[in-house]
A and B are shown apart, each in its own frame.
Chain A
Amino acid sequence: MISFDFLYFRPKSVHEALQIYQDLSHEGLQAVFYNGGTEIISRARAGEVQPDAVIDMKGIADCQGYRDEAEWITIGAAVTLSNITDEINCFPLMQRIAKEIATRNARNKISIAGNVLSSLNYREALLPFLLTDSVAVVAGPAGIKEENTAALFANGSRLEPGKLLVQFKTEKERAGANYFFKKKTKQSAVNYPIATLCAMKREGKITAGFSGICTFPFKDAKIDRILNDHALTISARAEEAIAHLPEKMVNDFHASAGYRHFVLEQLLIEMLEHFEEVS
């Protein structure tokens, strides 16, 4: 139960959504963009956030559905994770990752944007977009811009207040690339990842994405270079990659940093062996 009141808007267009946001801002009211909304409901119930207004994006056509065109796949920010698993067959890594987040019931409601912009560490749905160098379409007061996903979300950053995620655009050829994915939890499959590793191999090069081991999901050029350094043995590559994580491993009640290290090392080795076998 949410103890405080908020205003609710359901705009029909991106432009209208931004206008509502600005109008509220001018009145000193804080609004949040709301897609699946599950995290907002949870956090509002827990008293962790108290927005004055929510702007529901589900009525905006641009944020809904996906388009499978000649070279590009466009996925609306409000598309649910279940829609992705069930329908977006040309992006198998995205499907796979989506299927392992929360539970099916929850995924029927959680949107891509909700997961990517989550306040938690994990945000696994970002990984496929990072690995495919996807474009994030972001709307803000200055208009609609296409931005590089990796740059936009570097080091755990999220969107500036007042900006809204409209869709992701992914090159089809990249989306279909050979992939590796594994999520490790404390015990039950339904839980947050203590380590998620996904990777794609394209044109002979591996690129890897991580979630659960640091406070944000990431891919890292330095780590990718290490993983592709065939002068090193597989286990040396794994060890070296871990030595170059962007921050120290998370140490919390889900798993100790030491155990995360153990799990990640195994995952990296498994991934490298997988691609070696495939090629």
Chain B
Amino acid sequence: MDKGYFNLVDFRANGVPYQLFVRNADTLLHILREELGLMSVKPGCENGDCGSCTVLMDNVPVNACHMLAVEADSHHITTIEGLEDTKLQEAFIANHALQCGYCTPGFILNAHALLSHHPDADEQKINEWLESNICRCTGYQEIKEAIQTVQKELEGNG
């Protein structure tokens, strides 16, 4: 029985394999920021309420603050630094769907996962997924419009 307060975790972040000895009590948010330097993952509440620290675990959005780093073992984590498809980023800029930018990585990652699971998500589905994320600067409408712009683009290409 391992009685240590640390454990070795083996996971991929943005495709890069990492083996880290982490404190059991440290959250994934903490490790991504302080050990891996992935500062796009923003602490907003550390209580799973605001979505600012959204990351994708195996392409499923989760709050990195509500996950222990040890739980990431053998999983794939994606932060916005590792997002290769840039349509959403461009749409957020063009639609003025960001102001202070603090919630933006979380929104974009969540929207990315949404569109990869449900490319034809209707407004209700967009709401269902993105109600996880709080924005305090825009009116949310711009964010929805940015996502819908990308959906139209994808339809056009499909």
Contact = CB atoms under 8 A, between A and B. Distances in A.
A touches B in complex, CB < 8 A: yes
Interface of A: 1-10, 20, 23, 37-38, 41-42, 44-45, 54, 56, 58, 82, 99, 102-106, 108-109, 189-190
Contact of B68 (A8, A9, A99): A8
Contacts of A102: 48
B7 A8 contact: yes
B132 A103 contact: yes
A109 B68 CA distance: 11
Contact of B25 (A4, A9, A108): A4
A108 B23 contact: no
A7 B6 CA distance: 8
19 contacts: A1-B46, A6-B24, A7-B24, A8-B24, A10-B70, A38-B66, A41-B67, A41-B68, A45-B46, A56-B70, A58-B71, A82-B60, A104-B128, A104-B131, A105-B62, A105-B63, A105-B133, A106-B132, A108-B60
Contacts of A4: 25
B61 interface: yes
Given A6-B25, A41-B48, 5 more contacts: A37-B68, A41-B66, A99-B128, A104-B61, A104-B132
Given A5-B24, A5-B25, A56-B71, A106 B66 contact: yes
B105 interface: no
Nearest to A19: B1
B5 A5 contact: yes
Contacts of A103: 48-49, 51, 131-132
Interface centre among A5, A44, A56, A99 (most CB of B within 10 A): A5
Interface centre among B68, B131, B133 (most CB of A within 10 A): B68
A7 B27 contact: no
Contact of B5 (A7, A20, A23): A7
Interface string B7-51: 100000000000000011111001000000000000000111101
Q: How big is the B interface, by class?
A: 35 or more
A190 B132 CA distance: 9
B132 A7 contact: no
A58 B1 CA distance: 18
B70 A8 contact: yes
Interface centre among A20, A42, A99, A190 (most CB of B within 10 A): A42
Contacts of A42: 47-48, 66
Contact of A109 (B24, B26, B66): B66
B1 A38 contact: no
A109 B60 CA distance: 10
B136 interface: no
A199 B40 CA distance: 44
B89 interface: no
A170 B70 CA distance: 33
B5 A37 contact: no
B48 A1 contact: no
B9 to A, nearest CB: 10
Contacts of A20: 1
A1 B65 CA distance: 9
Contacts of B132: 103-106
Contact of A38 (B48, B61, B128): B48
Contacts of A56: 70-71
A109 B63 contact: yes
A47 to B, nearest CB: 12
B25 A109 contact: no
